[in-house]
Amino acid sequence: MFETKERFKKDFMMRLEQREERESLHAAYSVLSEMVKEWINDDWQANKRVQREEAHKQLYYFSIEFLTGRILGQNLMNLSVHSLVSDGLEEMGFSLAEIEEQELEPGLGNGGLGRLAACFMDSLASLGLPGHGYGIRYKGGLFTQVIKDGYQGETPTHWIDEKEDWGMRQEELAKNIPFYGNVHLEVQDNRLKPVLRNAVWVKAVPYDMPVVGAGGKTVNTLRLWQAESASYPLPEGMEQDFYQQAVSEISDRLYPDDSQQAGKVLRLRQQYFLCSSSLQTILQERDYPLSELPKHVAIQINDTHPALAIPELMRLLMDEQGMVWEEAWEITTHTISYTNHTILQEAMERWDSALLEALLPRIYMIIQEIDRRFREKVLEQDLDEAARKKLSIIEGGAVHMATLAVVGSYKVNGVARLHTDILKMREMKELNDYFPHKFHNITNGIAHRRWLVKANPELTGLISSAIGDEWIREPIKLHGLNPFAGDPSFLQDLQSVKLLKKRQLAEWIRKQHGAVIDPESVFDAHIKRVHGYKRQLMNILHIQLLFNHLHSDRNFRPHPRTFIFGGKAAPSYHFAKQVLKLINAMADKVNNDPLAKNHLRILFIEDYSVSKAERIFPASDVSEQISTASKEASGTGNMKFMMNGAVTIGTYDGANVEIVEQVGEDNAFIFGLSAKQVMQFEKEKNYFTNDTLAHDPELQLLMSQLLNGELSGGEGNVSYIKKQLVDENDPFFVLKDLQPYRKAHERLLSVYEEPSAWLGISAVNIAQSGIFSSDRTIQQYSDHVWNLEELTNHYT
Ligand code: Z2T
């Protein structure tokens, strides 16, 4: 049905005419997605067959988040029919872009971690590797952000339209998951067997989404579980209504905390629900002896959220399959591997022992036994009390999930070189000493097909006209662009493409928000979750410094800049919410100031999402990556900017280090404390905000403007900011790094004034970005962790 444009047009029109509201864009979306689903479906079933027949090792990626973004356009692209469909639709008077926007956006993730999982799905399928996702089908994704009077409000987001869902309900593959109850030891087959009595059972129903790889050959599966009532008797005294309510809660919504652990029992229920249903499926679908599990299956856990997979696999192997501890442990610790995404203490999961024991009594018993056995081994080594404490799974009345995850996995990786080094040398030093070969680095990456080819077809076209299109399959070949960094005609085209993308963004912003921005100004973007360590506060304070400078010095008339912010704050994170209010209040002031508005514009983009990101990255000149060094595990937005030719201003943190290594220090603007310096201050506790302020009248003025409320529409609006900067001694070094940040901006602007120099830098960034494709990342996981084989015998 997509063989020729004419065939597509005919088929599309025929189907559309049968629809009731055939005039509506939504009907067009509905018809098109139906056609794509039908097309994919045959290949998908065939793929499942081949993967079974060829007995390939399968990878299962367990993640509490999959931030896919919209799906229709992605599928059209990977099926290589995007332009055929787009042209065909245009000839019939439709715009594919408008049709794509009809799709409700699945927001099943908070930020980087969830988006990484989605990029990995794309790369696995595109590399022809058998890798599948397991997650939760939250009815409500991340909340919708609504800005009112500059404050963030939250409303629930419902993304599921049952008629148009890309997920296929698989009723017959449902699993039942036990919660609560009591463990009894009973004699069965001549041995003692733990049996759970009086449990509350929940049914997990899978919805399978096809994941189409580039070229359309490989179709993997993203399976999302939905919680429903099981047809088991309820424990005595439990009301049916109460039960149904509790069950539906499990897949009702995603927790909105990106960098702090929620510690709520509902979140723990979600985690176990995901692990148990996924593992039961893996064990049941197999056609090989259980002892060979590690040869046939690899399971990657995305941070510790799915770390209960370790005791749950032990439970299934022992209690359901009759294995002894030693064999079950051998299998578990050769099947599961773990990726760490943060060293922020507040984000490290620690579950209260009593809570865990009540909810999952058998699982808690197994964790206790893992802990007991590991303690015994640790005792054999000559270690001090402090080191032994760091090696304890159960400690201080809580289960330390990261420790459990390390002990129960065969490989542990960090997500950027600096992050992994910090893990190995500090945060998890004792564990790394104990398991010297377990830890390694695999630097994150991004799906260049979505973030460059799809989001920026104009740049894609320009690159291909210079170096051919092999780079799309082998992104490292973007290196071929390096010589063009000195080619005036190429650079001129690069400038035109950037200007075009800026105009498109400006036009969209005018339509959506009614705001007017100037495409000739520098687009400087800071888009990510709002958090203390990401330092949106430093960015906005720098803008106030510029504002003050403009008003005090009539010779200071810098090139116009548009500062674009976008990002959500966790609903309970008061500090971040005040930063958001501050940004919006500053926008009001600066954008309406007769002098400042000729040089500075501030734009806050409400409800930042994957689809909005797809518009902002290609249109940006400057990439703000200014986290307090050592705090950002990797960052992946930094890579999306780079690939679209934006230039980084940032600290030596996360993957910024590797970006600068790729482009050279002259092709990025780096400033501020190093990770080492930050960690030194933290250790010695010898940093004092007042030392920074003492000899700096500019900063003193800035602080008084901030603290008296003149920047934020009232003193009350900066109470948490004041608490952090003053009472808590500025833990993220905002004031300490502020002047170095300002100087970096000055260096940047002076280069920008010289177009050939600036565009050359931009070109080098694109040319050197290939290594940050998630295809490279996935190949490394496959080679060093999962041991997958490419599907050779495609069904085609
Ligand atoms: C998250 O997005 C990240 C780390 C988390 O730690 C949790 C969430 Cl929801 C538990 C981010 C990191 O902050 C970021 O640096 C990294 O690039 C991203 O994960 C993917 O690894």
Q: pLDDT, tens digit, for every residue of 252-267?
A: 999 999 989 999 999 9
Question: Which CATH number is associated with domain 56-70+105-346+409-442?
Answer: 3.40.50.2000
Task: Tell me the average pLDDT across 453-477.
Answer: 98
Q: What is the pLDDT of residue 18?
A: 94
Q: What is the pLDDT of residue 21?
A: 85
Residue 624 CA to ligand 1 centre (angstroms) = 17
Is 742 an active-site residue? no
Amino acid at 327: E
Is 296 an active-site residue? no
Residue 575 CA to ligand 1 centre (angstroms) = 19
Strand partners, 136: 225
Is 640 an active-site residue? yes
pLDDT-derived band at 750 (thresholds 50, 70, 90) equals very high
pLDDT in tens, 683-742: 999 999 999 999 999 999 999 999 999 999 999 999 999 999 999 999 999 999 999 999
Task: Tell me the average pLDDT across 275-290.
Answer: 96
Is 743 an active-site residue? no
pLDDT-derived band at 451 (thresholds 50, 70, 90) equals very high
CA 197 to chain centre: 39
Task: Tell me the average pLDDT across 531-543.
Answer: 98
CA distances (Å), origin 484, targets 304, 462, 641 = 44, 11, 19
> Which mutation among 63, 258, 446 tests ligand 1's pocket best, with the greatest number of atoms within 8 A of CB?
258
Do 56-70+105-346+409-442 and 448-671+732-775 agree at the fold level? yes
The ligand 1 atom nearest the CA atom of 636:
17
Task: Tell me the average pLDDT across 43-62.
Answer: 88
Is 528 an active-site residue? yes
Does the structure show a pLDDT above 60 at 431? yes
- Contact between 11 and 35 (Cβ < 8 Å): yes
Is the predicted ipTM greater than 0.95, yes or no?
A: yes
The ligand 1 atom nearest the CA atom of 109:
9
Task: Tell me the average pLDDT across 280-292.
Answer: 96
Q: What is the mean pLDDT of the chain?
A: 96
Report which secondary-structure segment, H or E, holds 366. helix 361-379
Does the structure show a pLDDT above 80 at 669? yes
Which regions of 265-339 does DSSP assign to beta strands (E)?
A: 297-302, 336-339
List pocket residues of ligand 1, CB cut-off 6 Å: 110-113, 116, 258-259, 303, 341-342, 347, 415, 444, 632-636, 654
Question: Which CATH number is associated with domain 448-671+732-775?
Answer: 3.40.50.2000
DSSP state letters, 523-566:
EEEEES---GGGTHHHHHHHHHHHHHHHHH-TT--PPPEEEEEE
**Identified catalytic residue from 526, 529, 535, 561:** 529
pLDDT in tens, 63-80: 999 999 999 999 999 999
Residue 702 CA to ligand 1 centre (angstroms) = 32
Residue 633 CA to ligand 1 centre (angstroms) = 7
Q: What is the pLDDT of residue 481?
A: 98
Nearest CA to ligand 1 atom 9: 258
Does the structure show a pLDDT above 80 at 793? no
Domain coordinates of the chain in residue numbers? 1-54+76-104, 56-70+105-346+409-442, 448-671+732-775
Does the structure show a pLDDT above 60 at 794? no
Separation between Cα atoms, residue 187 and residue 199, nearest integer Å: 19
Q: What is the pLDDT of residue 99?
A: 98
**Identified catalytic residue from 253, 400, 411, 640:** 640
Q: What is the pLDDT of residue 535?
A: 98
Residue 625 CA to ligand 1 centre (angstroms) = 14
The ligand 1 atom nearest the CA atom of 304:
10
Is 534 an active-site residue? yes
Report which secondary-structure segment, H or E, holds 8. helix 5-17
Residue 610 buriedness (CB in 10 A; 0-12 / 13-18 / 19+):
buried
DSSP state letters, 180-203:
S-EEEEEEETTEEEEEEESPEEEE
Does the structure show a pLDDT above 60 at 795? no
Residue 149 CA to ligand 1 centre (angstroms) = 30
Q: What is the pLDDT of residue 741?
A: 99
**Identified catalytic residue from 342, 562, 628, 636:** 636
